[in-house]
Amino acid sequence: MSTDISEADAANELMRLARVIARHDKLYHAEDSPEISDPEYDALVRRNAELEAAFPHLIREDSPSRKIGHEIAASPLSKVAHEVRMMSLDNAFSDEELAEFVARVRRFLALDDDEPIEMTAEDKIDGLSCSLRYEHGKLVRAATRGDGQVGEDVTPNVLHVAGIPQELRRDGVGAAIPDVFEIRGEVFMEKDAFAALNQRLMDEARAGAQAKDAPFEPEKVRQFANPRNAAAGSLRQKDAEVTASRPLRFLAHGWGAASEVPAETQFGMMQQILEWGVPVSPALMRCVNLEEMVAHYRELADMRPRMDYDIDGVVYKVDRLDWQKRLGFVAKAPRWAIARKFPAERAETEIEAIDIQVGRTGKLTPVGRLAPVLVGGVTVTNVTLHNRDEIARLGVRPGDRVVIQRAGDVIPQVVENLTRDADRPAFAFPDHCPECDSEAVAEDGEVDVRCTGGLICPAQRIERLQHFVSRGALDIEGLGEKTITDFFARGWLESPADIFRLRDRREAILALEGWQDKSVDNLLTAVDNKRAPDAARLLFGLGIRHVGAVTARDLMKGLRDIRALPEKAAEFAAYRDENPRGPDEKESPFNARMAEAVKRIFEVRTDGIGPAVGHALADFFHEPHNRDVWQDMLGQVSPPDYIVETQDSAVAGKTVVFTGKLETMSRDEAKAQAERLGAKAAGSVSAKTDLIVAGPGAGSKLKKAAELGIEVIDEAAWAQIVADAGVAEPTDS
């Protein structure tokens, strides 16, 4: 498009563009009924930008480039302080509790028994609370509830939510629009729109897999669990274009900061908000007594399964605003409002089968497959049975008739087994993993049964491989979740050792979309640089249960040679088998015995490693599959002996805790520095703590430090301690 026009013509065209774009913005954002295509709209915006660049002195006050939300949000959501706190509501769960709420209001206001107390009643929408600030009728800011005092700025995003106008209207009817008025309500997604969104995500994932010639795994597609989560996730986006692609709606239920409140009642004020162009709940009504309040609750409870959107109760508010002011607030809730919640909806059905799913951390979770049943407008076919103990408690087996409910109206669960006395054998919970046939065990004191297959278990491999290359472990740059998942699907990565064989696949990687010579070589160089890894990082990278980064370092301080670990694990396993807990021996002495054995066998020098670590190592290396993976890995890497050189420093012999966000180093790097300074790095604050290094967001640990009188320094002061001691950075950090 040409900008070779006169100044007068440019001014006229800019005026026309401002009006046209404003009209299409309204059609698209407020009314969800665009009349032109996206490319046609983009052409108008580009023309406006070209003219403004050529004639900057002609930029208008109502220019599309100045409109809130016109630019796509590309930075993390910023925080916004609410001028008037966004409160929560107290709950009532019965007619009696609702009656007590009315009586409490009457007592507080010292009203006679025959004085009527009118209330508004409206459905409690299961969505995301949002506050819209209008100044002189124009939307200037939108924020989520957050913690009630500080929320997230979602101003660009709400422009894509149906029911939120950029400007309040007044058609000569009703009160004038106040200079400042914050409208508060719920952003939500209708049930049909939610189902369509999840289907779209599934379709897009399928198409993406086909385009990459990769297997499609529907169980790994990330879908929203319910409409509320979908609404929250869609609104709280860094990129407003994502929000624009999601069908969100808004209904107002109140207000916050206001320079003027042009009504005397809650109901009157909500009608005024509706007249200004912001929708309110169609279920909003005024109740003159308790009987009407209860009747409205029962009516909405009956309508609930057939409604377009999810609700989880009814909200009642004292209608008179002067009474609201007198009633005030207690703690986090107003005295003049309450939410009467619906009970979890229940239904009867039959358990047709019980399947065992293996999670990414090895946990075996039983899932009941149900004869399909409608619960609260949603067809339920699966129900979680949690763990082995829950199955035993309920006595459930395939063929049982059960009562299920949607807990919190989200997760289906069994609440009663109607046929537990039927003559059928109990369900046999597996003692081997259904995915890899490794042993499945529950540690002492735990109810969860876990697969010990670790790195060879198909259900755990991707998660384990991601952990192996993560920053705290081998820290191999270029192997992110997407790359590992892709390589795994192609059969290139099945164990840690395969990572070091990627150089043999250079040409195959180069043939993939998005890979160039430089990126492939950078990846392979990053892999080669880890062929002599730090032994503690290598051990931590294996993802053995209870062996975190600190525990791995403490183990290696004693063992030094990581190759000795399988032999030590076998020695502990033999001791455990030969010295079981006696029939009269209490748990505490038994654990003390096991802890001493761990300390002796693994040559542990600290008190932080107990029997849980010994059991985990014994179980891991007991599996032949894991030993094979271990030997294969050691055929590709050569970790040197682990030697921690400590030196005298100002913190030698002291216990140090790092808390908050460290800006110049990772938490693991900081702990490693402390160890080289002769200090012990702990994870929690106690009376034994000598020093706390605090970064931004330290939180509760600082409060505890103050109570215990512990010295607190910042990261810069810690860096000076390190510099004074002359401690060099580790070569593999």
Q: Which helix (H) or strand (E) holds 141?
A: strand 138-144
The secondary structure of 466-509, three-state, reads HHHCCCCCCCCCCCCHHHHHHHHHCCCCCCHHHHCCHHHHHHHH
Element containing residue 151 per DSSP (H, E): strand 150-152
Count of beta carbons in the 10 Å neighbourhood of residue 708: 13
| Phi (first) and psi of residue 637, to 5 degrees | -125, 160
Q: Which residues pair with 80 in a beta bridge?
A: 151
Looking up tokens 């026309």 gives 16
Beta bridge partners of 451: 440
What is the rounded distance in angstroms from the CA atom of residue 670 to the CA atom of residue 678?
13
Q: Which residues face 250 on adjacent strands? A: 187
Length of the chain: 733
Q: Report H helices in 237-309.
A: 240-244, 266-275, 290-303
Max distance between CA atoms of the chain, in angstroms, equals 100
Contact criterion met (CB below 8 Å) for 311 and 227: no
One-letter amino acid of 176 = A
**Annotated active-site residue in 67, 124, 568, 671:** 124
Q: How many Å apart are CA 288 and CA 616, to the nearest integer? A: 65
163 Rama class: left (phi>0) / alpha (psi -120 to 50) / beta = left
Phi-psi region of 186 (alpha: psi -120 to 50; beta: other; left: phi over 0): beta
Count of Cβ atoms closer than 10 Å to residue 651 Cβ: 21
Sheet containing strand 249-258, strands side by side: 138-144, 128-135, 180-188, 249-258
Q: Cα(121)–Cα(339) distance, rounded to whole angstroms?
A: 10
Would strands 79-81 and 249-258 be described as parallel, antiparallel, or unpaired? Answer: unpaired
124 noted as active-site residue: yes
Q: Name residue, tokens 């840690």.
A: 496
Which secondary-structure segment (H or E) carries 682?
Answer: strand 680-682
Specify which residues 132 forms β-bridges with: 142, 183
Residues serving a catalytic function are: 124
